[in-house]
């Protein structure tokens, strides 16, 4: 085993050394090729630059020659159309000279030649202008003499300067072509060196691979045996984990069932207490005692409804608000006297809240709805009560109870204000949730303005769903 490990460690070292050596050769060849490529690109750019310069020189020669020919033709024929090249040359030549000067900006000798050429062109065009002036005054002989004397001399100078510029660019072009040829030879040598480096790399790699094949095969067999042992251990451990997970799942389901059963039992027991209070209510003859027992029964029934609907979430600590509050409102609707024309609508968002807050929220809803049912409508009146629980984007969740009844007035303030038990319960639960009761008419301009009660529950914690 130790001999196998020693050979396994030694073989990669030889392979690394071979690869490092070959890589150094390749790197040197690549750097050399890069430098040659850069030099070739520079030489190509210089050739293109020289050709552009020659093209500008040719353009200037053509323009000036055309202007000279047009002027001579005008002197002979007095045809104004022949002056078009002259007029065009005056507009184009400054730009062409500027382009030529920019192309030879890195060559002081050529810049001097361009400046001399520009001066000659200016002198020749000045002489042309004199000739044209003599023509316009019908001094034909003087105009012809001007062309023959000063004009020919200036054109000779112009051609000499053009030839000097072109000759210098030709010499530069020849030198740059020679440099391109030299770069091509160096590039071929660099490619040959790279091919040799690749051959060396291949040779070293093949040699090292042969030495490593036997060692790798032995290592593979040993690893296969080790993998078989590890897989057996993993299977055993997986079975243990599956048994533990199954046991945990059973215990969780059992705990969930127990909690659900406890909530139902509490709800049923409270419903039984509500039934006892109903039976006692039937036996009481005193009106005040009957109202007190009825109010107590309604509150116990609200708590019972909330408990029966406490379906705990996966964390056993949260419930959906709509399930709890809808159950409370449905029980209140079912408890209304037969033939009652009051309809109760419920619009509750399915928000997740802590289970510890569910019963308090149900009691608060029950008190607000019962107050609306008792005080908003007269005997035999019809109407509706809307219950809403929601969470706006930028503010706290709120509960709102609105009716289209007679509206808030002094009698209600006396019967259901903060001095009554219901008012105290509402005030206590409102403080518990860090809220403040806001009351306003639902429809101020109507005969029955109704009432809207809104409580923002600043301290009510909503739980984000994780699935």
Structural domain boundaries in the chain: 2-217, 311-456
Number of helical (H) and strand (E) elements in the chain, helices listed first: 10, 7
> What is the three-class DSSP state of 87?
helix
pLDDT bucket at 374, cuts 50 / 70 / 90: confident
pLDDT bucket at 399, cuts 50 / 70 / 90: very high
Whole-number Cα distances in Å, 92 to 54, 85, 113, 278: 17, 10, 20, 113
Q: Choose between 76 and 108: higher pLDDT.
A: 108
pLDDT bucket at 348, cuts 50 / 70 / 90: very high
User: What pLDDT is recorded for position 410?
Assistant: 44
**Interatomic CA distance for residues 459 and 52, integer angstroms:** 81
Phi, psi of 253 (to 5 degrees): -60, -40
Q: Is the pLDDT of residue 386 over 90?
A: yes
Phi, psi of 191 (to 5 degrees): -65, -40
Per DSSP, the residues of 411-431 read HHHHHHSTTSHHHHHHHHHHH
pLDDT bucket at 452, cuts 50 / 70 / 90: very high
> Over the stretch 124-171, which tens digit does the pLDDT of each residue have?
777 777 777 777 777 777 777 766 666 677 777 888 888 888 888 888
Across residues 372-377, what is the average pLDDT? 86
Across residues 265-283, what is the average pLDDT? 64
Whole-number Cα distances in Å, 74 to 70, 71, 78, 120, 150: 6, 5, 5, 22, 17
User: What pLDDT is recorded for position 80?
Assistant: 79
Q: Is 311-456 a CATH 3.30.565.10 domain? A: yes
Cα dihedral 89/91/94/99 (nearest 10): -90
Nearest to 321 by CA among 354, 343, 345: 354
User: What pLDDT is recorded for position 255?
Assistant: 60
Q: How far is CA 74 from the centre of its chain?
A: 72
The answer to whether the beta carbons of residues 323 and 311 sit under 8 Å apart is yes
Residue 383 β-bridge partners:
342
Please, what is the Cα angle at 417 between 415 and 420, to 5 degrees? 70
- DSSP structure class, residue 462: B
pLDDT bucket at 373, cuts 50 / 70 / 90: confident
432 token code pair: 């518990």
Q: Among 41-45, 148-152, 176-180, 334-338, which is the least confidently predicted range?
A: 148-152
Q: Choose between 429 and 13: higher pLDDT.
A: 429
Residue 343 β-bridge partners:
384
> Over the stretch 434-449, which tens digit does the pLDDT of each residue have?
988 999 998 888 888 9
How many other CB atoms sit within 10 Å of the CB of residue 285? 7
User: What pLDDT is recorded for position 345?
Assistant: 93
- DSSP structure class, residue 41: H
User: What pLDDT is recorded for position 75?
Assistant: 74
- Beta strands at 398-403 and 342-348: parallel, antiparallel or unpaired: unpaired
The answer to whether the beta carbons of residues 368 and 427 sit under 8 Å apart is no
User: What pLDDT is recorded for position 411?
Assistant: 43
Q: Among 44-58, 192-206, 208-222, 427-441, which is the least confidently predicted range?
A: 192-206
pLDDT bucket at 106, cuts 50 / 70 / 90: confident
> Over the stretch 51-98, which tens digit does the pLDDT of each residue have?
888 888 888 888 888 877 877 777 777 787 877 887 888 888 888 888
> Over the stretch 7-53, which tens digit does the pLDDT of each residue have?
555 556 666 766 676 667 667 767 766 776 777 677 677 777 778 88
Nearest to 310 by CA among 301, 321, 298, 297: 321
């Amino acid at each position: 085993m130790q001999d196998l490990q020693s050979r396994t460690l030694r073989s990669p070292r030889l392979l690394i050394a071979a690869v490092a050596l070959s890589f150094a050769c390749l790197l040197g060849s690549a750097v050399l090729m890069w430098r040659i490529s850069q030099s070739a690109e520079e030489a190509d750019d210089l050739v293109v630059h020289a050709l552009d310069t020659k093209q500008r020189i040719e353009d200037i020669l053509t323009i000036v020659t055309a202007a000279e020919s047009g002027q001579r033709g005008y002197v002979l024929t007095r045809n104004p159309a022949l002056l078009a090249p002259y007029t065009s040359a005056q507009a184009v030549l400054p730009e062409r000279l500027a382009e030529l000067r920019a192309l030879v900006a890195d060559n002081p000798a050529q810049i001097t030649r361009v400046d001399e050429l520009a001066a000659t062109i200016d002198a020749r065009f000045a002489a042309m202008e004199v000739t044209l002036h003599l023509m316009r005054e019908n001094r034909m002989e003087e105009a012809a003499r001007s062309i023959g004397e000063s004009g020919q001399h200036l054109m000779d100078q112009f051609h000499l300067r053009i030839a000097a510029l072109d000759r210098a660019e030709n010499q530069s072009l020849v030198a740059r072509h020679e440099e391109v040829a030299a770069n091509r030879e160096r590039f071929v040598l660099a490619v040959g060196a790279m091919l040799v480096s690749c051959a060396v790399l291949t040779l070293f790699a093949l040699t090292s691979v042969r030495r490593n094949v036997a060692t790798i095969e032995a290592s593979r067999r040993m690893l296969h045996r080790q993998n078989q042992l590890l897989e057996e251990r993993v299977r055993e451990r997986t079975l243990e984990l599956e048994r533990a997970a199954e046991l945990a799942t059973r215990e969780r389901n059992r705990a969930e069932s127990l909690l659900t059963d406890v909530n139902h039992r509490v709800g049923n027991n409270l419903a039984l207490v509500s039934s006892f209070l109903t039976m006692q209510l039937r036996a009481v003859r005193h009106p005040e005692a009957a109202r007190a027992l009825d109010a107590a029964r309604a509150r116990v029934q609200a708590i019972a409804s909330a408990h029966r609907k406490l379906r705990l979430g996966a964390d056993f600590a949260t419930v959906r608000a709509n399930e709890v509050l809808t159950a409370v409102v449905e029980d209140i609707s079912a408890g209304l006297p037969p033939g009652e024309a009051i309809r109760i609508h419920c619009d509750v968002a399915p928000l997740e809240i802590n289970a510890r807050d569910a019963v308090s929220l149900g009691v608060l809803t029950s008190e607000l709805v019962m107050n609306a049912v008792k005080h908003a409508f007269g005997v035999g009146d019809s109407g509706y009560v809307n219950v809403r629980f929601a969470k706006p984007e930028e503010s706290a969740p709120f509960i709102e109870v609105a009716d289209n009844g007679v509206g808030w007035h002094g009698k209600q303030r006396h019967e259901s204000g903060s001095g009554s038990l219901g008012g105290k319960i509402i005030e206590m639960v409102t403080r518990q949730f860090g809220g403040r009761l806001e009351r306003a008419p639902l429809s101020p301009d109507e005969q029955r303005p109704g009432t809207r009660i809104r409580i923002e529950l600043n301290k009510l914690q909503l739980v984000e769903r994780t699935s």
